[in-house]
Structure 1
Amino acid sequence: MPFQPDIPYASENLITTLFNNIMVDDDIDLNATYPYQANTACNQEELEECYRITWQLLARRSRLQEFRRILMKIALRRKALFKEQEFYKEIRAQFKHMRFGCSNFDRRHIYPWQLHFITCQMGFLQDAFRNGQRFKTFRKALLLWGALHPLLFRQTLKRLAAFKPATPENFKNFQKNELKKIIDVLNFDQKVTGHQFHSLRKIISRRTAYVDTLRVIRPNKELDALSIFLATINGLMGDMHDELILRHITGDSNYNKEQFPLPDIINVRLKALIEAEQLSENL
Protein backbone atom coordinates (compact mmCIF):
# COMPACT_ATOMS: atom_id res chain seq x y z
CA MET A 1 0.00 0.00 0.00
CA PRO A 2 1.44 3.43 -0.96
CA PHE A 3 2.49 5.72 1.87
CA GLN A 4 -0.32 8.09 2.87
CA PRO A 5 1.02 11.32 4.37
CA ASP A 6 -2.35 12.48 5.70
CA ILE A 7 -3.49 9.20 7.28
CA PRO A 8 -3.61 8.94 10.22
CA TYR A 9 -4.48 12.57 10.71
CA ALA A 10 -2.29 14.06 13.47
CA SER A 11 -4.01 15.97 16.23
CA GLU A 12 -3.72 19.75 16.34
CA ASN A 13 -1.85 19.35 19.62
CA LEU A 14 0.87 17.24 17.96
CA ILE A 15 1.18 19.64 15.03
CA THR A 16 1.44 22.60 17.41
CA THR A 17 4.07 20.80 19.49
CA LEU A 18 6.19 20.15 16.41
CA PHE A 19 5.81 23.76 15.30
CA ASN A 20 6.86 25.02 18.73
CA ASN A 21 9.87 22.69 18.68
CA ILE A 22 11.19 23.93 15.36
CA MET A 23 10.73 27.58 16.34
CA VAL A 24 13.37 27.14 19.08
CA ASP A 25 15.73 24.91 17.11
CA ASP A 26 18.48 27.53 17.19
CA ASP A 27 18.01 28.88 20.73
CA ILE A 28 21.35 28.99 22.55
CA ASP A 29 21.95 27.60 26.05
CA LEU A 30 25.68 27.58 26.76
CA ASN A 31 25.10 25.38 29.81
CA ALA A 32 23.51 22.59 27.77
CA THR A 33 25.37 19.27 27.68
CA TYR A 34 24.83 16.05 25.78
CA PRO A 35 22.41 13.75 27.68
CA TYR A 36 24.02 10.31 27.40
CA GLN A 37 20.76 8.57 28.35
CA ALA A 38 19.03 9.85 25.19
CA ASN A 39 17.97 7.10 22.80
CA THR A 40 17.71 8.33 19.21
CA ALA A 41 17.31 4.93 17.57
CA CYS A 42 13.88 4.40 16.07
CA ASN A 43 11.89 1.69 14.34
CA GLN A 44 10.22 1.67 10.93
CA GLU A 45 6.88 2.90 12.24
CA GLU A 46 8.51 5.85 14.00
CA LEU A 47 10.49 6.86 10.90
CA GLU A 48 7.31 6.94 8.84
CA GLU A 49 5.40 8.80 11.55
CA CYS A 50 8.16 11.43 11.74
CA TYR A 51 7.80 12.10 8.03
CA ARG A 52 4.01 12.06 8.16
CA ILE A 53 3.76 14.71 10.86
CA THR A 54 6.38 16.83 9.06
CA TRP A 55 4.30 16.70 5.86
CA GLN A 56 1.11 17.54 7.71
CA LEU A 57 2.73 20.53 9.41
CA LEU A 58 3.57 22.04 6.03
CA ALA A 59 0.28 21.10 4.38
CA ARG A 60 -1.90 22.36 7.23
CA ARG A 61 0.04 25.35 8.57
CA SER A 62 1.61 26.98 5.50
CA ARG A 63 -1.11 29.72 5.35
CA LEU A 64 -0.27 30.10 1.69
CA GLN A 65 -2.73 32.83 0.75
CA GLU A 66 -1.70 35.07 3.64
CA PHE A 67 1.98 34.40 2.99
CA ARG A 68 1.69 35.37 -0.68
CA ARG A 69 -0.05 38.63 0.29
CA ILE A 70 2.85 39.47 2.59
CA LEU A 71 5.37 38.61 -0.10
CA MET A 72 3.70 41.08 -2.46
CA LYS A 73 3.78 43.77 0.24
CA ILE A 74 7.47 43.12 0.83
CA ALA A 75 8.15 43.31 -2.90
CA LEU A 76 6.31 46.61 -3.38
CA ARG A 77 7.84 48.17 -0.26
CA ARG A 78 11.25 46.59 -0.94
CA LYS A 79 11.66 45.84 2.74
CA ALA A 80 9.97 43.74 5.41
CA LEU A 81 8.37 45.16 8.53
CA PHE A 82 9.11 43.52 11.88
CA LYS A 83 5.76 41.66 12.07
CA GLU A 84 6.22 40.48 8.49
CA GLN A 85 9.68 39.19 9.33
CA GLU A 86 8.28 37.22 12.27
CA PHE A 87 5.56 35.66 10.11
CA TYR A 88 8.10 34.99 7.37
CA LYS A 89 10.37 33.20 9.87
CA GLU A 90 7.52 30.88 10.89
CA ILE A 91 6.62 29.87 7.33
CA ARG A 92 10.26 29.48 6.30
CA ALA A 93 10.87 27.23 9.33
CA GLN A 94 8.12 24.87 8.15
CA PHE A 95 9.55 24.62 4.63
CA LYS A 96 13.07 24.05 6.00
CA HIS A 97 11.76 21.36 8.33
CA MET A 98 10.07 19.62 5.41
CA ARG A 99 13.35 19.63 3.48
CA PHE A 100 15.13 18.19 6.52
CA GLY A 101 12.38 15.57 6.72
CA CYS A 102 13.10 14.46 3.15
CA SER A 103 16.84 14.33 3.81
CA ASN A 104 16.40 12.35 7.02
CA PHE A 105 13.52 9.96 6.45
CA ASP A 106 13.39 9.20 2.73
CA ARG A 107 15.65 6.26 1.88
CA ARG A 108 17.09 8.27 -1.03
CA HIS A 109 17.87 11.14 1.39
CA ILE A 110 16.95 13.70 -1.26
CA TYR A 111 14.19 16.26 -1.66
CA PRO A 112 12.13 17.37 -4.68
CA TRP A 113 13.74 20.20 -6.62
CA GLN A 114 10.60 22.32 -6.22
CA LEU A 115 10.90 22.25 -2.43
CA HIS A 116 14.63 22.95 -2.61
CA PHE A 117 14.09 25.90 -4.95
CA ILE A 118 11.46 27.48 -2.72
CA THR A 119 13.49 26.98 0.46
CA CYS A 120 16.65 28.41 -1.10
CA GLN A 121 14.80 31.47 -2.39
CA MET A 122 13.37 32.00 1.09
CA GLY A 123 16.90 32.10 2.46
CA PHE A 124 18.06 34.53 -0.25
CA LEU A 125 15.09 36.83 0.39
CA GLN A 126 15.65 36.80 4.13
CA ASP A 127 19.32 37.74 3.66
CA ALA A 128 18.24 40.53 1.30
CA PHE A 129 15.71 42.26 3.56
CA ARG A 130 17.85 41.77 6.67
CA ASN A 131 20.79 43.49 5.00
CA GLY A 132 18.87 46.29 3.29
CA GLN A 133 19.29 45.04 -0.29
CA ARG A 134 16.19 46.72 -1.68
CA PHE A 135 16.34 45.63 -5.32
CA LYS A 136 17.19 42.03 -4.39
CA THR A 137 14.32 42.07 -1.88
CA PHE A 138 11.94 43.21 -4.64
CA ARG A 139 13.17 40.57 -7.10
CA LYS A 140 13.25 37.62 -4.70
CA ALA A 141 9.88 38.43 -3.13
CA LEU A 142 8.21 38.47 -6.55
CA LEU A 143 9.95 35.24 -7.52
CA LEU A 144 8.70 33.52 -4.36
CA TRP A 145 5.20 34.92 -4.84
CA GLY A 146 5.09 33.22 -8.22
CA ALA A 147 6.73 29.98 -7.09
CA LEU A 148 4.09 29.62 -4.35
CA HIS A 149 1.09 29.82 -6.66
CA PRO A 150 -1.54 27.42 -5.24
CA LEU A 151 -1.37 25.12 -8.28
CA LEU A 152 2.41 24.85 -8.02
CA PHE A 153 2.25 24.34 -4.27
CA ARG A 154 -0.22 21.47 -4.67
CA GLN A 155 2.18 19.86 -7.11
CA THR A 156 4.99 20.22 -4.58
CA LEU A 157 2.89 18.54 -1.88
CA LYS A 158 2.08 15.75 -4.33
CA ARG A 159 5.79 15.20 -5.00
CA LEU A 160 6.45 15.17 -1.27
CA ALA A 161 3.75 12.53 -0.80
CA ALA A 162 5.73 10.18 -3.09
CA PHE A 163 7.79 9.22 -0.04
CA LYS A 164 10.00 6.14 0.03
CA PRO A 165 10.61 5.38 3.71
CA ALA A 166 14.12 4.73 4.95
CA THR A 167 14.67 1.56 6.96
CA PRO A 168 16.16 1.86 10.46
CA GLU A 169 19.47 0.49 9.13
CA ASN A 170 19.48 2.85 6.16
CA PHE A 171 18.73 5.79 8.45
CA LYS A 172 21.45 4.77 10.89
CA ASN A 173 24.03 4.59 8.10
CA PHE A 174 22.93 8.00 6.84
CA GLN A 175 23.50 9.56 10.25
CA LYS A 176 26.89 7.84 10.61
CA ASN A 177 27.98 9.23 7.25
CA GLU A 178 26.83 12.71 8.27
CA LEU A 179 28.82 12.48 11.49
CA LYS A 180 31.90 11.35 9.58
CA LYS A 181 31.83 14.57 7.56
CA ILE A 182 32.16 16.54 10.79
CA ILE A 183 34.88 14.22 12.07
CA ASP A 184 36.89 14.71 8.87
CA VAL A 185 36.98 18.46 9.49
CA LEU A 186 37.77 18.27 13.21
CA ASN A 187 40.39 15.52 12.98
CA PHE A 188 42.60 17.54 10.69
CA ASP A 189 41.81 20.98 12.15
CA GLN A 190 40.82 22.04 8.66
CA LYS A 191 40.00 25.61 7.83
CA VAL A 192 36.70 26.03 6.05
CA THR A 193 35.10 28.51 3.69
CA GLY A 194 31.71 30.07 4.38
CA HIS A 195 30.09 27.59 2.02
CA GLN A 196 31.78 24.60 3.72
CA PHE A 197 30.81 25.95 7.14
CA HIS A 198 27.20 26.21 5.97
CA SER A 199 27.32 22.56 4.83
CA LEU A 200 28.49 21.53 8.32
CA ARG A 201 25.74 23.56 9.89
CA LYS A 202 23.12 21.84 7.75
CA ILE A 203 24.25 18.49 9.18
CA ILE A 204 23.57 19.81 12.68
CA SER A 205 20.27 21.31 11.54
CA ARG A 206 19.17 17.97 10.10
CA ARG A 207 20.07 16.22 13.36
CA THR A 208 18.20 18.85 15.37
CA ALA A 209 15.16 18.54 13.11
CA TYR A 210 15.15 14.77 13.58
CA VAL A 211 15.28 14.97 17.38
CA ASP A 212 12.65 17.72 17.44
CA THR A 213 10.31 15.49 15.43
CA LEU A 214 11.06 12.30 17.33
CA ARG A 215 10.33 13.94 20.68
CA VAL A 216 6.83 14.79 19.45
CA ILE A 217 5.89 11.16 18.87
CA ARG A 218 8.09 9.81 21.69
CA PRO A 219 8.13 12.54 24.37
CA ASN A 220 10.76 12.23 27.11
CA LYS A 221 13.09 14.55 29.00
CA GLU A 222 16.28 13.03 27.55
CA LEU A 223 15.27 13.90 23.99
CA ASP A 224 14.23 17.36 25.19
CA ALA A 225 17.70 17.84 26.67
CA LEU A 226 19.37 16.59 23.50
CA SER A 227 17.31 19.05 21.49
CA ILE A 228 18.57 21.93 23.63
CA PHE A 229 22.19 20.78 23.17
CA LEU A 230 21.82 20.48 19.40
CA ALA A 231 19.89 23.76 19.15
CA THR A 232 22.78 25.50 20.90
CA ILE A 233 25.26 24.28 18.29
CA ASN A 234 22.77 25.12 15.55
CA GLY A 235 22.24 28.63 16.92
CA LEU A 236 25.94 29.37 17.38
CA MET A 237 26.66 28.23 13.83
CA GLY A 238 23.66 30.17 12.52
CA ASP A 239 24.81 33.41 14.16
CA MET A 240 28.26 32.96 12.70
CA HIS A 241 26.85 32.21 9.26
CA ASP A 242 24.81 35.44 9.38
CA GLU A 243 28.05 37.34 10.08
CA LEU A 244 29.77 35.59 7.16
CA ILE A 245 26.93 36.56 4.82
CA LEU A 246 27.05 40.19 5.99
CA ARG A 247 30.83 40.36 5.53
CA HIS A 248 30.45 38.93 2.04
CA ILE A 249 27.76 41.47 1.11
CA THR A 250 29.87 44.38 2.37
CA GLY A 251 32.94 43.09 0.53
CA ASP A 252 34.96 42.43 3.69
CA SER A 253 35.44 38.75 2.84
CA ASN A 254 34.82 36.17 0.12
CA TYR A 255 32.22 33.66 1.27
CA ASN A 256 33.34 30.95 -1.16
CA LYS A 257 37.13 31.38 -0.98
CA GLU A 258 38.30 32.84 2.33
CA GLN A 259 39.12 30.11 4.88
CA PHE A 260 39.00 30.23 8.67
CA PRO A 261 39.23 27.77 11.59
CA LEU A 262 36.11 26.81 13.52
CA PRO A 263 35.77 28.96 16.68
CA ASP A 264 36.41 27.13 19.96
CA ILE A 265 32.86 27.77 21.20
CA ILE A 266 31.59 25.67 18.28
CA ASN A 267 34.53 23.29 17.98
CA VAL A 268 34.29 22.00 21.55
CA ARG A 269 30.58 21.27 21.23
CA LEU A 270 31.00 19.44 17.95
CA LYS A 271 33.69 17.29 19.56
CA ALA A 272 31.38 16.56 22.50
CA LEU A 273 28.67 15.47 20.05
CA ILE A 274 31.07 13.15 18.20
CA GLU A 275 32.41 11.59 21.40
CA ALA A 276 28.89 10.96 22.71
CA GLU A 277 27.69 9.47 19.41
CA GLN A 278 30.74 7.21 19.15
CA LEU A 279 30.31 6.03 22.73
CA SER A 280 26.66 5.27 22.06
CA GLU A 281 27.68 3.29 18.96
CA ASN A 282 30.11 1.19 21.00
CA LEU A 283 27.64 0.28 23.76
Structure 2
Amino acid sequence: MPSSNFSLESPPATKAQLAALMQNILDDDVVNLQAPCPTGPAPDLTAMELADCYRLAWQLLVTGVDIPATRRLVAAIAGKGSATAEQTVQFKFMRARFKKMRFACANYSEQHAYPESLDSITRLMGRFQDAFKNGQRYRTLWLGIRLWCRLRDGFFAGLHDTLIEAKLSTVESFQRYIAVENQHLAETSREDAFLTARQFHDLRKIISRRIALSDTRRALSSSPEYDALSLFLATINGLMGKMHDDLVVKKIQNKLVYEQELFKFPDEISTRIRALVM
Protein backbone atom coordinates (compact mmCIF):
# COMPACT_ATOMS: atom_id res chain seq x y z
CA MET A 1 0.00 0.00 0.00
CA PRO A 2 1.72 3.26 0.86
CA SER A 3 5.10 1.72 1.62
CA SER A 4 7.17 -0.65 -0.47
CA ASN A 5 7.52 -3.13 2.39
CA PHE A 6 3.79 -3.67 2.84
CA SER A 7 2.77 -7.26 2.16
CA LEU A 8 -0.68 -8.79 1.88
CA GLU A 9 0.84 -12.19 2.63
CA SER A 10 3.05 -11.39 5.59
CA PRO A 11 2.70 -11.71 8.45
CA PRO A 12 0.34 -14.63 7.79
CA ALA A 13 -2.84 -14.84 9.80
CA THR A 14 -3.18 -17.77 12.16
CA LYS A 15 -5.65 -20.54 11.44
CA ALA A 16 -7.55 -19.43 14.52
CA GLN A 17 -7.89 -15.87 13.20
CA LEU A 18 -9.08 -17.04 9.78
CA ALA A 19 -11.55 -19.44 11.36
CA ALA A 20 -12.82 -16.77 13.74
CA LEU A 21 -13.36 -14.30 10.91
CA MET A 22 -15.23 -16.84 8.79
CA GLN A 23 -17.45 -17.75 11.73
CA ASN A 24 -18.11 -14.07 12.37
CA ILE A 25 -19.16 -13.67 8.73
CA LEU A 26 -21.53 -16.64 8.99
CA ASP A 27 -23.09 -15.10 12.09
CA ASP A 28 -23.42 -11.58 10.72
CA ASP A 29 -27.12 -11.86 9.87
CA VAL A 30 -28.28 -13.76 12.96
CA VAL A 31 -31.20 -11.84 14.46
CA ASN A 32 -31.34 -11.38 18.22
CA LEU A 33 -34.07 -8.86 18.99
CA GLN A 34 -32.88 -8.66 22.60
CA ALA A 35 -29.37 -7.59 21.61
CA PRO A 36 -28.74 -4.20 23.27
CA CYS A 37 -27.25 -1.27 21.46
CA PRO A 38 -23.67 -0.69 22.68
CA THR A 39 -23.58 2.29 25.01
CA GLY A 40 -19.98 3.27 24.42
CA PRO A 41 -17.96 3.92 21.26
CA ALA A 42 -15.93 1.09 19.78
CA PRO A 43 -12.17 1.44 20.28
CA ASP A 44 -10.41 3.53 17.64
CA LEU A 45 -8.27 1.67 15.12
CA THR A 46 -4.58 2.44 14.75
CA ALA A 47 -2.76 2.59 11.41
CA MET A 48 -1.28 -0.84 12.11
CA GLU A 49 -4.71 -2.29 12.84
CA LEU A 50 -6.10 -0.89 9.58
CA ALA A 51 -3.31 -2.68 7.71
CA ASP A 52 -3.85 -5.88 9.69
CA CYS A 53 -7.58 -5.85 8.90
CA TYR A 54 -6.90 -5.35 5.18
CA ARG A 55 -4.38 -8.19 5.19
CA LEU A 56 -6.70 -10.57 7.01
CA ALA A 57 -9.50 -10.02 4.49
CA TRP A 58 -7.11 -10.79 1.63
CA GLN A 59 -5.79 -13.95 3.26
CA LEU A 60 -9.32 -15.15 4.01
CA LEU A 61 -10.16 -14.81 0.32
CA VAL A 62 -7.13 -16.45 -1.25
CA THR A 63 -6.80 -19.28 1.27
CA GLY A 64 -10.49 -20.17 1.08
CA VAL A 65 -11.36 -19.86 -2.62
CA ASP A 66 -10.01 -22.30 -5.18
CA ILE A 67 -10.71 -20.80 -8.61
CA PRO A 68 -10.88 -24.08 -10.60
CA ALA A 69 -13.21 -25.63 -8.01
CA THR A 70 -15.37 -22.51 -8.01
CA ARG A 71 -15.63 -22.60 -11.80
CA ARG A 72 -16.78 -26.21 -11.61
CA LEU A 73 -19.40 -25.25 -9.04
CA VAL A 74 -20.68 -22.38 -11.18
CA ALA A 75 -20.78 -24.61 -14.27
CA ALA A 76 -22.74 -27.29 -12.42
CA ILE A 77 -25.35 -24.81 -11.17
CA ALA A 78 -25.59 -23.00 -14.51
CA GLY A 79 -25.92 -26.21 -16.51
CA LYS A 80 -28.78 -27.47 -14.37
CA GLY A 81 -30.36 -24.07 -13.90
CA SER A 82 -30.65 -24.65 -10.15
CA ALA A 83 -28.56 -25.53 -7.12
CA THR A 84 -28.76 -28.30 -4.57
CA ALA A 85 -28.80 -27.35 -0.89
CA GLU A 86 -25.11 -28.24 -0.65
CA GLN A 87 -24.21 -26.20 -3.73
CA THR A 88 -26.17 -23.24 -2.40
CA VAL A 89 -24.16 -23.29 0.82
CA GLN A 90 -20.86 -23.74 -1.03
CA PHE A 91 -21.60 -20.77 -3.27
CA LYS A 92 -22.75 -18.64 -0.32
CA PHE A 93 -19.53 -19.30 1.58
CA MET A 94 -17.38 -18.57 -1.46
CA ARG A 95 -19.22 -15.34 -2.27
CA ALA A 96 -18.98 -14.28 1.38
CA ARG A 97 -15.20 -14.18 1.08
CA PHE A 98 -15.39 -11.99 -2.03
CA LYS A 99 -17.85 -9.67 -0.30
CA LYS A 100 -15.57 -9.47 2.72
CA MET A 101 -12.66 -8.38 0.54
CA ARG A 102 -14.83 -5.80 -1.21
CA PHE A 103 -15.94 -4.36 2.14
CA ALA A 104 -12.30 -4.25 3.22
CA CYS A 105 -11.44 -2.09 0.22
CA ALA A 106 -14.18 0.37 1.19
CA ASN A 107 -13.24 0.38 4.85
CA TYR A 108 -9.43 0.45 4.70
CA SER A 109 -8.30 1.97 1.41
CA GLU A 110 -7.65 5.69 1.07
CA GLN A 111 -10.30 5.87 -1.67
CA HIS A 112 -12.84 4.04 0.53
CA ALA A 113 -14.17 2.49 -2.67
CA TYR A 114 -14.49 -0.89 -4.34
CA PRO A 115 -12.00 -1.77 -7.11
CA GLU A 116 -13.99 -2.19 -10.31
CA SER A 117 -12.78 -5.72 -11.02
CA LEU A 118 -13.72 -6.94 -7.55
CA ASP A 119 -16.99 -5.02 -7.42
CA SER A 120 -18.24 -6.20 -10.80
CA ILE A 121 -17.54 -9.88 -10.19
CA THR A 122 -19.06 -9.76 -6.69
CA ARG A 123 -22.22 -8.13 -8.05
CA LEU A 124 -22.35 -10.74 -10.81
CA MET A 125 -22.17 -13.43 -8.14
CA GLY A 126 -25.09 -11.79 -6.35
CA ARG A 127 -27.24 -11.72 -9.48
CA PHE A 128 -26.34 -15.34 -10.24
CA GLN A 129 -27.27 -16.35 -6.69
CA ASP A 130 -30.59 -14.50 -6.86
CA ALA A 131 -31.35 -16.22 -10.17
CA PHE A 132 -30.82 -19.79 -9.02
CA LYS A 133 -32.45 -19.17 -5.63
CA ASN A 134 -35.58 -17.85 -7.33
CA GLY A 135 -35.87 -20.55 -10.00
CA GLN A 136 -34.86 -18.42 -13.00
CA ARG A 137 -33.33 -21.20 -15.10
CA TYR A 138 -32.41 -19.26 -18.24
CA ARG A 139 -31.09 -16.30 -16.28
CA THR A 140 -29.07 -18.71 -14.14
CA LEU A 141 -27.53 -20.21 -17.27
CA TRP A 142 -26.66 -16.86 -18.83
CA LEU A 143 -25.22 -15.34 -15.67
CA GLY A 144 -23.39 -18.57 -14.88
CA ILE A 145 -21.64 -18.50 -18.25
CA ARG A 146 -20.58 -14.91 -17.66
CA LEU A 147 -19.33 -15.71 -14.15
CA TRP A 148 -17.48 -18.82 -15.33
CA CYS A 149 -15.66 -16.71 -17.90
CA ARG A 150 -14.72 -14.07 -15.34
CA LEU A 151 -13.27 -16.55 -12.85
CA ARG A 152 -9.89 -16.95 -14.52
CA ASP A 153 -6.78 -18.26 -12.78
CA GLY A 154 -5.17 -14.82 -13.03
CA PHE A 155 -7.97 -13.00 -11.25
CA PHE A 156 -6.33 -13.00 -7.82
CA ALA A 157 -2.96 -11.92 -9.25
CA GLY A 158 -4.57 -8.91 -10.91
CA LEU A 159 -6.52 -8.04 -7.79
CA HIS A 160 -3.37 -8.37 -5.69
CA ASP A 161 -1.60 -5.82 -7.89
CA THR A 162 -4.57 -3.45 -7.63
CA LEU A 163 -4.55 -3.62 -3.83
CA ILE A 164 -0.79 -3.15 -3.59
CA GLU A 165 -0.94 -0.10 -5.87
CA ALA A 166 -3.72 1.47 -3.83
CA LYS A 167 -3.04 3.51 -0.74
CA LEU A 168 -4.00 2.38 2.73
CA SER A 169 -6.29 4.78 4.53
CA THR A 170 -4.81 7.04 7.13
CA VAL A 171 -6.47 7.03 10.53
CA GLU A 172 -7.83 10.52 9.86
CA SER A 173 -9.31 9.52 6.49
CA PHE A 174 -10.85 6.43 8.04
CA GLN A 175 -12.48 8.50 10.77
CA ARG A 176 -13.92 10.94 8.22
CA TYR A 177 -15.27 8.03 6.18
CA ILE A 178 -17.02 6.54 9.23
CA ALA A 179 -18.46 9.95 10.15
CA VAL A 180 -19.89 10.46 6.65
CA GLU A 181 -21.51 7.03 6.66
CA ASN A 182 -22.93 7.63 10.14
CA GLN A 183 -24.46 10.87 8.93
CA HIS A 184 -26.06 9.07 5.99
CA LEU A 185 -27.44 6.38 8.28
CA ALA A 186 -28.91 9.01 10.59
CA GLU A 187 -30.55 10.98 7.79
CA THR A 188 -31.97 7.95 6.01
CA SER A 189 -33.38 6.27 9.12
CA ARG A 190 -35.35 9.21 10.49
CA GLU A 191 -38.87 8.41 11.71
CA ASP A 192 -40.65 9.76 8.63
CA ALA A 193 -38.29 8.10 6.12
CA PHE A 194 -39.60 6.53 2.91
CA LEU A 195 -37.22 4.58 0.66
CA THR A 196 -37.10 2.79 -2.65
CA ALA A 197 -35.85 -0.80 -2.69
CA ARG A 198 -32.62 0.46 -4.27
CA GLN A 199 -32.08 3.00 -1.49
CA PHE A 200 -32.86 0.34 1.10
CA HIS A 201 -30.28 -1.98 -0.48
CA ASP A 202 -27.67 0.79 -0.53
CA LEU A 203 -28.35 1.48 3.13
CA ARG A 204 -27.89 -2.17 3.96
CA LYS A 205 -24.49 -2.07 2.28
CA ILE A 206 -23.36 0.47 4.87
CA ILE A 207 -24.52 -1.80 7.67
CA SER A 208 -22.75 -4.73 5.99
CA ARG A 209 -19.52 -2.75 5.72
CA ARG A 210 -19.78 -1.76 9.35
CA ILE A 211 -20.30 -5.29 10.62
CA ALA A 212 -17.44 -6.46 8.39
CA LEU A 213 -15.23 -3.90 10.10
CA SER A 214 -16.26 -5.04 13.56
CA ASP A 215 -15.97 -8.73 12.70
CA THR A 216 -12.45 -8.36 11.34
CA ARG A 217 -11.23 -6.33 14.28
CA ARG A 218 -12.50 -8.83 16.85
CA ALA A 219 -11.07 -11.76 14.87
CA LEU A 220 -7.65 -10.16 15.27
CA SER A 221 -8.07 -9.23 18.91
CA SER A 222 -11.11 -10.00 21.00
CA SER A 223 -12.89 -7.00 22.46
CA PRO A 224 -16.14 -6.90 24.49
CA GLU A 225 -17.02 -3.64 22.73
CA TYR A 226 -16.65 -5.19 19.27
CA ASP A 227 -18.48 -8.35 20.33
CA ALA A 228 -21.46 -6.29 21.49
CA LEU A 229 -21.36 -4.11 18.38
CA SER A 230 -21.28 -7.13 16.05
CA LEU A 231 -24.23 -8.74 17.83
CA PHE A 232 -26.32 -5.58 17.50
CA LEU A 233 -25.28 -5.01 13.88
CA ALA A 234 -26.03 -8.63 13.01
CA THR A 235 -29.63 -8.12 14.09
CA ILE A 236 -29.99 -5.05 11.88
CA ASN A 237 -28.27 -6.83 9.01
CA GLY A 238 -30.45 -9.92 9.37
CA LEU A 239 -33.67 -7.93 9.46
CA MET A 240 -32.63 -5.93 6.42
CA GLY A 241 -31.49 -9.03 4.56
CA LYS A 242 -34.82 -10.79 5.04
CA MET A 243 -36.69 -7.70 3.90
CA HIS A 244 -34.48 -7.25 0.84
CA ASP A 245 -34.97 -10.90 -0.15
CA ASP A 246 -38.72 -10.24 -0.11
CA LEU A 247 -38.26 -7.09 -2.21
CA VAL A 248 -36.23 -9.03 -4.80
CA VAL A 249 -39.00 -11.64 -5.06
CA LYS A 250 -41.59 -8.90 -5.58
CA LYS A 251 -39.38 -7.36 -8.26
CA ILE A 252 -39.10 -10.69 -10.07
CA GLN A 253 -42.88 -11.13 -9.86
CA ASN A 254 -43.39 -7.59 -11.25
CA LYS A 255 -45.09 -6.53 -8.02
CA LEU A 256 -42.52 -3.83 -7.24
CA VAL A 257 -40.79 -1.09 -9.19
CA TYR A 258 -37.41 -1.57 -7.54
CA GLU A 259 -35.87 1.79 -8.45
CA GLN A 260 -38.93 4.01 -7.95
CA GLU A 261 -41.62 2.65 -5.63
CA LEU A 262 -41.47 4.12 -2.13
CA PHE A 263 -42.28 2.35 1.13
CA LYS A 264 -42.09 3.27 4.80
CA PHE A 265 -38.82 2.29 6.45
CA PRO A 266 -39.88 -0.30 9.09
CA ASP A 267 -39.56 1.02 12.63
CA GLU A 268 -38.11 -2.32 13.74
CA ILE A 269 -35.01 -1.51 11.70
CA SER A 270 -34.88 2.29 11.65
CA THR A 271 -35.05 2.64 15.43
CA ARG A 272 -32.04 0.36 15.82
CA ILE A 273 -30.03 2.30 13.25
CA ARG A 274 -30.85 5.58 14.97
CA ALA A 275 -29.78 4.12 18.31
CA LEU A 276 -26.49 3.11 16.71
CA VAL A 277 -25.51 6.46 15.24
CA MET A 278 -27.27 9.13 17.31
* TM-score, with structure 2 as normaliser: 0.95
SS of alignment partner, residue 40 of structure 1? coil
1:146, 1:26 → 2: CA distance? Answer: 30
Structure 2, unaligned stretches of length 5 or more?
none
2:62, 2:165 → 1: CA distance? Answer: 14
1:78, 1:223 → 2: CA distance? Answer: 41
Tell me whether 1:247 sits opposite 2:230 in the alignment: no
**One-letter amino acid of the counterpart of residue 50, structure 1:** C
**One-letter amino acid of the counterpart of residue 244, structure 1:** L
Q: What's the CA shift string for 1:9-32, capped at 9, x where partnerless?
A: 111111111111111111111110
Q: What's the CA shift string for 1:121-150, capped at 9, x where partnerless?
A: 011011101110000101111111111110
Tell me which residue corresponds to 2:66. 63
Shift of 1:65: 1.8
Tell me which residue corresponds to 1:114. 117
The alignment of Structure 1 onto Structure 2 pairs a total of residues equal to 275
- Pick one of 98, 106, 114 that aligns with 2:101: 98
Shift of 1:40: 3.3
- Pick one of 209, 212, 216 that aligns with 1:209: 212
2:205, 2:52 → 1: CA distance? Answer: 22
**One-letter amino acid of the counterpart of residue 162, structure 1:** E
Residues 6-85 of structure 1: pairs in structure 2 closer than 5 A = 6-37=9-40, 39-85=42-88
Shift of 1:270: 0.9
2:71, 2:146 → 1: CA distance? Answer: 11
Tell me whether 1:134 sits opposite 2:137 in the alignment: yes
Shift of 1:161: 3.1
1:40, 1:211 → 2: CA distance? Answer: 10
Does the aligned pair in 2 maintain the 1:99–1:111 contact within 8 Å?
A: yes
**One-letter amino acid of the counterpart of residue 36, structure 2:** T
1:90, 1:140 → 2: CA distance? Answer: 19
Tell me which residue corresponds to 1:261. 264
Shift of 1:4: 1.0
Does the aligned pair in 2 maintain the 1:38–1:226 contact within 8 Å?
A: no
* TM-score, with structure 1 as normaliser: 0.94
Tell me which residue corresponds to 1:175. 178
**One-letter amino acid of the counterpart of residue 28, structure 1:** V
Tell me which residue corresponds to 2:164. 161
SS of alignment partner, residue 150 of structure 1? coil
Tell me which residue corresponds to 1:151. 154
2:189, 2:22 → 1: CA distance? Answer: 32
Tell me whether 1:124 sits opposite 2:127 in the alignment: yes
2:179, 2:55 → 1: CA distance? Answer: 23
2:43, 2:149 → 1: CA distance? Answer: 39
Task: Tell me whether 107-116 or 182-191 shows the greater mean CA deviation.
Answer: 182-191
Shift of 1:56: 0.8
1:48, 1:150 → 2: CA distance? Answer: 26
RMSD: 1.3
Q: What's the CA shift string for 1:202-241, capped at 9, x where partnerless?
A: 0111100000001012202221121010011011011111
Shift of 1:158: 2.5
**One-letter amino acid of the counterpart of residue 112, structure 2:** H
Q: What's the CA shift string for 1:30-89, capped at 9, x where partnerless?
A: 110122245231110001100010111111111222111111101111111110000000
Shift of 1:188: 6.8
Does the aligned pair in 2 maintain the 1:51–1:102 contact within 8 Å?
A: yes
Shift of 1:152: 2.9
Structure 1, unaligned stretches of length 5 or more?
276-283
1:115, 1:126 → 2: CA distance? Answer: 17
Residues 214-253 of structure 1: pairs in structure 2 closer than 5 A = 214-253=217-256
4+ residue runs over 3 A deviation:
none
Does the aligned pair in 2 maintain the 1:5–1:56 contact within 8 Å?
A: yes
